[in-house]
Amino acid sequence: MKVEEIPAFVQDVIDAGCDICAIGHEGYVIGDADLSEAEYKVARPQLARIKRVYGDRDPLLPEIVAYLRALGRYIEIGNSRVH
């Protein structure tokens, strides 16, 4: 994955019906666990496609986190507030 693909990656995850947010400044989560069984059946192939298209995202972890925080999609560690 390239830095310029981060916005498309985030939007693809959202379009798959999953929440995505940064956790503090260290990482991010894709909220597929919150989906009902029926919703997950729909999202699962889309998430598999996202994984194939974008590949390894680990090298861009800080950039993905920064992008999510800039969008207001983050949870502070030690705080239950979701932004």
**Spatial CB neighbours of 4, under 8 Å, sequence gap ≥ 6:** none
Per-residue pLDDT band at 38 (split at 50, 70, 90) = very high
User: What does the alpha-carbon distance between residue 20 and residue 32 come to, in Å, rounded to a whole number?
Assistant: 9
pLDDT at 15: 93
pLDDT at position 71: 97
State mean pLDDT over 8-26.
94
Q: Residue 68 carries which side chain, given as an amino acid letter?
A: L
When mean pLDDT is compared across 34-43, 49-58, 62-71, the lowest value belongs to 34-43
Confidence (pLDDT) at 73: 95
Residue 27 has pLDDT above 60, yes or no: yes
